[in-house]
Amino acid sequence: MLKPSHGILAFAMVGLLTGCPVNKTTLIVGTASFGNETGGGWFERFKGLPPGDSKGWDRVSEFDLYSDSGGGARPVLCNFDDDGRNEVAIGLDSLPGNGGWVQILDDESTGFAHLAWVRYRTNTIYDSNNGETRPACGDVDGDGRDELVVGGGPGSSTLLQIFDDATTDFAHLDYQLLLTDIGYLVTNGETRPVLCDVDGDNRDEIVMGLGSFHSGKGGRVAIFDDALREYRLLTELQTTWGAARTKGTGTRPACGDLDGDGLDEIVMGFGPGTKGWLEIFDDAVAVHAPIGWTRVSWTDYNDAQGETFPACGDIDNDGVAELVIGLGAYPENGGWFETQDGFDRSDPVQLLDNRDWGRLDWEEYNEFSGATFPTVGR
């Protein structure tokens, strides 16, 4: 299979937390860089719980320089206009000299047409040498429409930039968030944002995942309040896993209402070499107490790689979020992602169950790398 084919675009990415029918697209999975004749920027769409039914492929558009470079796609599903249909914001890999872009595609009613470009600008050095973007979205001001939050890769000085919803043409807001840890800011500075309502006030907080750092400082996320509270830093969480702390391991956070109480829990995924483990923290009412652990149910992958990219959302519309776990590069047998469900606080080690697997329908990519970056609509 030389190239993913574009599927029929007559489907709806309806926000799952507003009552999405199960027969609609509920999950999309992005890909890493893949420099062959297919070009880059691809992601696949699915409906239902994995393995799910593939709804076809789509990609970054109207940016030939990036597509020709073979770069990856880090998509997130967002509802920027409160019309009950999700748009797609796509973060891009490093593109030195012309990076910092996020593409926004409109919803299915327009055939996922190009809607806008948003640019994340930090400093001249980052723009020149990297320019990778890591988008997230959520309703930080409680107006019923998602805002866009963009973080960057190494060298971006922990800067998060916030863009308004579609009614203002994604205007860049004045707020720019920085972590006060100067050592991390200088030596790494990458961020992985995700938005969630951890306190039940109908405004999303911002959870900032951090990259690798020196001994004792690994396994951290920072939590910032919503727009009403001017995004003040609320707290930092650190994994209870001593080895991840000591090794300075980076985090890949996700959040969702895993227990059906109306408040989002935080899931902390980790970088390579962490054996497929993910730690779960409770909501703000419980002061983000650590709840327990879950693990990818694939021993060979865990032993060889173990990196995880979690996402959460109510795929089956039962009022409780599922956890979808994307995996890092695993050449010759990649392209996999796992879904876990069934929150059970009585088991402090293995919290989630009812597992199933999905796989990207792209044999060449799965053999080459196969890293998967899932996102679930909210």
Tell me, what's the pLDDT at 344? 58
CA distances to 17, 47, 50, 289 from 316, in Å: 10, 10, 10, 27
pLDDT one digit per residue (tens) for the chain, 378 residues? 344 443 322 223 323 323 333 335 579 999 999 976 778 999 999 988 877 788 899 999 999 999 999 999 999 999 999 898 999 999 999 999 999 999 999 988 888 899 999 999 888 889 889 999 999 999 999 999 999 999 999 999 999 999 999 999 999 997 778 888 889 988 999 999 999 999 999 999 999 999 999 888 999 999 999 999 999 999 999 999 999 999 999 999 999 999 889 999 999 999 999 999 999 999 999 999 999 999 999 999 999 999 999 999 999 888 889 999 999 999 999 999 999 986 756 554 456 777 899 999 999 999 999 999 999 987
Burial label for 239, CB within 10 Å (0-12, 13-18, 19+), is buried
One-letter-per-residue 3-state SS of 80-108: CCCCCCCEEEEEECCCCCCCCEEEEECCH
C-beta neighbour count of 182 within 10 angstroms:
11
Nearest to 362 by CA among 116, 43, 81, 113: 43
What pTM, to 2 d.p., does this model score? 0.92
Question: How far, in Å, CA of 265 to CA of 319, rounded?
Answer: 14
At residue 345, the pLDDT reads 62
Q: What is the pLDDT of residue 373?
A: 98
Q: Of 226, 152, 214, which is closest to residue 183 (Cα–Cα)?
A: 214
Check residue 12 and give its pLDDT: 30
Phi, psi angles (nearest 5°) of residue 342: 85, 65
Left, alpha or beta for 189 (phi > 0: left; psi -120 to 50: alpha)? left
